[in-house]
Amino acid sequence: MSQPDSTFTVHKPRPFLGDNFLLDNDFAAELYHEHAARQPIIDYHNHLSPEDIATNRQFRSITEIWLEGDHYKWRAMRTQGVAERFITGDASDWEKFEKWAETVPYTVRNPLFHWTHLELQRYFGINDLLNADTAKAIFEETNTALATPNLSTQGILQKMNVEVVCTTDDPADELQAHQFFSSSNNSNSSNPFKLLPTFRPDKAILIEKEGFTEYIARLGAAVNFEVRYFADLLNALERRMDFFASLGCRLSDHGLERLYAADFLDSEAARIFRKRMDNQMLTPEEVEIYQSAILYHLGRAYHWRGWTQQFHLGALRNNNSRMMRQLGPDTGFDSIGDFEQARHLARFLDRLDKDDRLAQTILYNLNPRDNEVFATMAGNFNDGSRPGKIQWGSAWWFLDQKDGMEKQLNTLSNLGLLARFVGMLTDSRSFLSFPRHEYFRRILCNLIGRDVQNGELPADMDLLGNMVKDICYRNAKAYFNFG
Average of per-residue pLDDT across 312-328:
95
Q: Is the pLDDT of residue 186 over 80?
A: no
Q: What is the pLDDT of residues 384-405, one digit of tens each?
A: 999 999 999 999 999 999 999 9
Q: Domain segments of the chain: what residues?
A: 26-55+152-480, 58-151
pTM listed for this prediction:
0.96
Amino acid (one-letter) located at 162: V
Q: Which class is domain 58-151?
A: mainly alpha
**What is the per-residue pLDDT for 184?**
79
- DSSP annotation of 9 reads -
Rounded CA gap, 345 and 348, in Å? 5
Rounded CA gap, 224 and 210, in Å? 23
Q: Is the pLDDT of residue 34 over 80?
A: yes
CB 153 within 8 A of CB 431: yes
Q: What is the pLDDT of residues 96-127, one digit of tens each?
A: 999 999 999 999 999 999 999 999 999 999 99
Nearest alpha-carbon partner for 155 in 432, 352, 399: 432
Q: Is the pLDDT of residue 450 over 80?
A: yes
How many CA within 13 A on the CB side of residue 397? 21
Average of per-residue pLDDT across 162-190:
88
Average of per-residue pLDDT across 190-215:
95
Amino acid (one-letter) located at 391: Q
Nearest alpha-carbon partner for 305 in 431, 130, 480, 141: 480
CATH topology of domain 26-55+152-480: TIM Barrel (3.20.20)
Rounded CA gap, 342 and 330, in Å? 26
Q: What is the pLDDT of residues 135-149, one digit of tens each?
A: 999 999 999 999 999
**What is the per-residue pLDDT for 80?**
98
Q: Is the pLDDT of residue 95 over 80?
A: yes
